[in-house]
Chains A and B, each alone.
Chain A
């Protein structure tokens, strides 16, 4: 990629995002892609005056990722999407669909993890336990 990309860890994620926000960077989106059977790659994209900057983190599929939605509410939707499609669990989501943003029970789960099906079991906390109706609330 031609733009600045920095590798970060999950621990430093929130601090980094907060710093970028303070510097005037706009949250563009989050891209998840599958690295291998165990890991996913998360790419956070930010924009300032038409220039992009990316934060890159490799995370285990079973990891609990801190949600950046308290910093950028705009991230809530995309984090839900990743939770749906990759089965990755985000904690502290301001708007949590619990894996039911796009998918129904009969949809294949999680559809984007195709290498190593063992990542299937914990589905964003929504599959097994009955999802409570109240958690899906706008702030």
Chain B
């Protein structure tokens, strides 16, 4: 009877992206959440019809601006697998370096937005201030701040020199120092804890059944990380997934914060590991792969799946992208009923939704 119905989004200050939730609440307690998508749907999977494989790289980079590097990485890996080629070792390590840089950037972005949705504006500003320096690293080495656009079929387009790499290592150290300074406020502040501990709890079994991936799953105790499949150069970097078992928003916060630190470390070690050599295979002719493949990489938000199908032409037959947010949305829908309205942004952001990924 006494239910309030709220249109939450598509335009809403705490949602950076347009998604609509029709929330039925009773005195701030959410009773039902009905989602509506489609505000960002562009239909880019069908652009394979008009773009050749090399051009598709630029398209998939723009599936999502926050993890564009990783989309392109995944796509290129898939095409390379179809073609039966492999990028040169230096390119493999560079891809890892930029991917991890991207992950840090994405996690910092999320940490900032999350702080902001808690109403902790000053913390938001601090995270984004640090994030700017990651973006500087990207711009200096890859040419762009956000959509770094370095992947090509058979390698990467940029090759940072030693001076740049040394500067990067030093900068990473300073960034880590700055980030660690924010750790107490982010993880231990009682007001933050009050807003996150026990909010949006997802048990391990639920997380598995609902197909949650990435930090959302890892915060519920599922130690799954696609990087463990040792794609690209991950096999050569010792790496352990960050896992928490509480399954609440605070656990997801912890996972992402620690992952950001871990990724900084991975960047540093990738730089140290960097072999000399070519970064890009010279392809004799435009790639025209045949066959189908499923490739997976670990995005900042979790498992990213590409299904590619080619029939020996320079345009692919089908590209299908399953992004991590798409996999995490069912979990969100299950978590929302029962939380209070003020925690809706917290729980929603805690899966780090990326709608442009989801809808493509």
Residues of A within 8 A of B (CB): 1-3, 26-29, 31-34, 43, 45, 47, 50, 52, 54, 72-74, 76-78, 95, 100-104, 111-112, 114, 136-138
Supply 30 A–B pairs (Cβ within 8 Å), ascending by A. A1-B291, A1-B292, A1-B294, A28-B303, A29-B305, A31-B307, A31-B318, A31-B320, A32-B320, A33-B317, A33-B318, A33-B320, A45-B294, A45-B307, A47-B303, A50-B226, A52-B296, A72-B211, A73-B330, A76-B330, A78-B322, A103-B38, A103-B41, A111-B46, A112-B45, A112-B46, A114-B49, A137-B32, A138-B334, A138-B337
Known: A1-B294, A112-B45. 7 other contacts (CB 8 A): A28-B322, A33-B318, A47-B303, A74-B209, A74-B330, A137-B32, A138-B32
Residues of B contacting A78 with CB < 8 Å?
322, 326
CB distance from B94 to the nearest CB of A (A): 24
Interface of B is mostly: mixed
Report the Cα distance A8→B228, complex, angstroms: 30
Are A101 and B37 closer than 8 Å at their CB atoms? Answer: yes
Residues of A contacting B337 with CB < 8 Å?
138
Are B34 and A136 closer than 8 Å at their CB atoms? Answer: yes
Interface of A is mostly: loop
Are A28 and B211 closer than 8 Å at their CB atoms? Answer: yes
Residues of B contacting A33 with CB < 8 Å?
309, 317-318, 320
Question: Would you list the 10 A-B pairs with minimal beta carbon distance, nearest first?
Answer: A74-B211, A29-B322, A102-B41, A102-B38, A33-B318, A31-B320, A74-B330, A31-B307, A138-B333, A74-B210
User: Does chain A have a CB within 8 A of B357?
Assistant: no
Report the Cα distance A42→B294, complex, angstroms: 14
Residues of A contacting B291 with CB < 8 Å?
1
Report the Cα distance A95→B293, complex, angstroms: 29
Residues of A contacting B209 with CB < 8 Å?
72-74
CB distance from B167 to the nearest CB of A (A): 36
Residues of B contacting A136 with CB < 8 Å?
34
Residues of B contacting A77 with CB < 8 Å?
326, 329-330
Q: Which residue of A lies closest to B358 (CB)?
A: A77
Are A73 and B327 closer than 8 Å at their CB atoms? Answer: no
Are B34 and A137 closer than 8 Å at their CB atoms? Answer: yes
User: Does chain A have a CB within 8 A of B224?
Assistant: yes
Residues of A contacting B49 with CB < 8 Å?
114
Q: Which residue of B lies closest to A32 (CB)?
A: B320
* Partner among B33, B292, B296 whose Cβ is within 8 Å of the Cβ of A138: B33
CB distance from B116 to the nearest CB of A (A): 27
* Partner among B33, B45, B211, B296 whose Cβ is within 8 Å of the Cβ of A27: B211
Residues of B contacting A27 with CB < 8 Å?
211
